[in-house]
Amino acid sequence: MTSLTFSYRYLLLCFIILCTPIIYKSFHKSQVHLSVNYEPIHFTKKNVPTEYNDGKNNQLPALMNATLFMLCRNKDLSAALSSIQNVEDRFNRRYHYPWTFMNDAPFSEEFINATSAMASSNTTYVRLEQHEWGLPKGLNMNRALKTIRDMMRRSIIYGFSLSYRIMCRFNSGFFYRNSVLNNYDYYWRVEPGVIYSCDITYDPFRLLRDEKKAYGFVISLPEYPETIPTLWNTTREFIKENPQYLAPHNSLDFITDDNMGMDGEYNYCHFWSNFEIADLNFFRSDAYNDYFEYLDERFGFFYERWGDAPIHSIAASLFLNKSQLHYFEDFGYYHMPWSHCPSDYNLHANGQCICDPADTIEIQYGFCYPRWLHNMRDVNT
């Protein structure tokens, strides 16, 4: 009887994976005959303050050209509202930065009404087009499905999911090219269901501008090696062909351990990209775009399971000088299952943090934090 006890859920998943090529072809054909409106929906908030106050009657400088950004689905509404409320309470109620929401399906009226009511400023809703959210031309679906079946058999995280791969590809090379984000210089990525546990008492976008930073993070940790077996060798090939993109004061000391530069082995350290505050012009640069196109042409998002976090992190480590990276140590942040909490007493007190520093990832596991400190040892702060 034990051999006959088999998960119906597993069988259903296998059936879906095996049928994916048929489903995709049918979906693609059906879209040709549909008239779909992809125009963004703009919800303009009435009476958004034009003067900004820090709550202590101190006038704040004018806003930066920036947006809070969330990729989500209609079914994520509850988690999205939780994140919006949290970011508004901890930061945006004083600044009123606009929100941009993206989805591969049309946003529901319920989603638009609820999120626009929760936000303190204007909101924009974007339905992604097929070239942004889909499969690349030339992809061998049989090979991709073989990888999916193999990763599912080995229980590799999200290895079973085709949609997760599409999302990682979108976050790696398409989000910043959407016409709506063309209007902005900076963005703050906010995931549904995250928690910011400390007040953010300054404008992080302005910090990036004033201190000439291009990429900010809060948690660093190693990637699952099984998901990116050829990513580093592919990156080496790219740099060999494009040595001009390697920054003179790069962060190879963060992503390698052996002081061998590009000849060293990748240690899998990356910035956890479910939180990042960044200069969109970094992603728009020739270096980043050429890198993404080079990766995309090798189909590693589907023949393996390349994630946007290691791709963003490797790119930032190689193409930016280390002085252009910023660790938001004073941010309290939680995304299941990891959290960061300021351990410095003054940072914790000034931010009115409700997190426990003993739970912070750096203290519990170390992970890549020592590599970050090693990388930044010769940078004047």
Active-site residue set: 276
Distance CA 335, CA 192 (A): 9
Spell 116-126 as b/e; 16+ CB within 10 A means b.
Answer: bebbbbbbbbb
Structure tokens at 18: 């095996």
Q: Is the dihedral of CA 79, 80, 81, 83 positive or negative?
A: positive
Strands 99-103 and 269-271: unpaired
Q: Please report the beta strands in the chain, taking only residues with DSSP state E, as ranges in sequence order.
A: 41-43, 66-71, 99-103, 123-127, 186-189, 195-196, 215-217, 220-222, 269-271, 276-279, 325-327, 333-335, 338-340
Strands 276-279 and 338-340: unpaired
Determine the straight-line distance between the first and last CA of the chain, rounded to whole angstroms: 65
H/E element holding 328?
none
H/E element holding 130?
none
Distance CA 138, CA 101 (A): 30
Distance CA 233, CA 308 (A): 17
Q: Which residues pair with 222 in a beta bridge?
A: 269
The closest alpha carbon to 107, from 143, 139, 132, 70, belongs to 70
Measured CA angle at 211 (ends 206, 212), to 5 deg: 95
